[in-house]
Homo-oligomer: A and B are copies of this chain.
Amino acid sequence: MPIEIPDVVIDRLPLYYRLLSRLESEGRGVISSQELGEELGVTPAQIRKDLSYFGRFGKQGRGYSVQRLAEELRLILGLDKRWRVVVVGIGRLGRAISSYPGFEGQGFDIVGRYDANPAVIGTQLDGQEIRDARLLEADLSARPADIGIVAVPAEYAQQVVDTLTRGGVKAVLNYTPARVQVPPDTELKHINPVVFLQSMTYHLKLRGRARA
């Protein structure tokens, strides 16, 4: 039976991968957990512990093979395959997200963009027609997608998520501030800028106290 790997570890793997992938393109052969830690703001002990969940990558005192570790992380994270992504809600945020230049090179193909606004439906974005959100479920049954990105107004978030999961989508990235529910077999992540700001103000406040 595979060991249960904590979500915080999984969440760090893309950061490891990103750094290793850059080092690989720069031609680096080996990297120590010390240097990985410095680059990523994590302790070397944490790095060794995180990577130990996935087998023995490093040699004691020799560091990690950049190429081998990057390749393993590609497999672990499923980056060796292509993932079909639909974006629902093509307002300012949805447009910005679905034109994000980093998706394609990482195996994420945006295969559909949907909106409910008649003024937006039928218009083109990056050479793709924006489709009527009412067609989403039928489209998904005809051509399944793996991931749904939700950038609709908060009050429609749950309804869109339900449509996505009924249509077989197994991973939802929710950009709305709404809390949404997904079935137990579906992955869910939220991107809420307030949450990021609040974990920074914790530190700012601590320092303010120290100054006072």
Q: What is the interface of chain A, defined by CB distance below 8 A to chain B?
A: 2, 7-8, 10-11, 13-15, 17-18, 22, 41, 76-79, 81, 83, 85, 91-93, 95-97, 99-103, 106-108, 146-147, 149, 154, 170-171, 173, 177, 179, 185, 187, 189, 191-208
Point out the residue from B11, B78, B92, B206 that lies within 8 Å of A96, measured CB to CB: B92
Question: Considering the chains assembled together, what is the distance between the CA atoms of A103 and B192 in angstroms?
Answer: 10
Question: Considering the chains assembled together, what is the distance between the CA atoms of A204 and B146 in angstroms?
Answer: 8
Residues of B within 8 A of A191 (CB): 191, 193, 196
Point out the residue from B107, B189, B199 that lies within 8 Å of A10, measured CB to CB: B199
Residues of B within 8 A of A77 (CB): 198-199, 201-202, 205
Contact A200 B177 (CB under 8 A): no
Q: How many copies does the complex hold?
A: 2
Contact B92 A194 (CB under 8 A): no
**Assuming A92-B95, A147-B197, what are 11 further A-B pairs, CB within 8 angstroms?**
A7-B199, A22-B179, A76-B202, A78-B204, A78-B205, A83-B201, A91-B96, A92-B92, A103-B194, A147-B201, A170-B204
Q: What 5 pairs between A and B have smallest CB-CB spacing?
A: A78-B205, A93-B96, A14-B198, A92-B96, A78-B201
Q: List 30 A-B contacts (CB under 8 A).
A: A2-B206, A14-B194, A14-B199, A78-B198, A78-B204, A79-B201, A91-B96, A92-B93, A92-B95, A92-B96, A100-B177, A101-B177, A102-B177, A103-B193, A103-B194, A106-B198, A107-B201, A146-B204, A147-B200, A147-B201, A171-B197, A171-B200, A171-B201, A173-B193, A173-B197, A173-B200, A187-B200, A187-B203, A189-B196, A189-B200
Least Cβ distance of A121 to chain B in Å?
A: 19
Question: Considering the chains assembled together, what is the distance between the CA atoms of A103 and B7 in angstroms?
Answer: 27
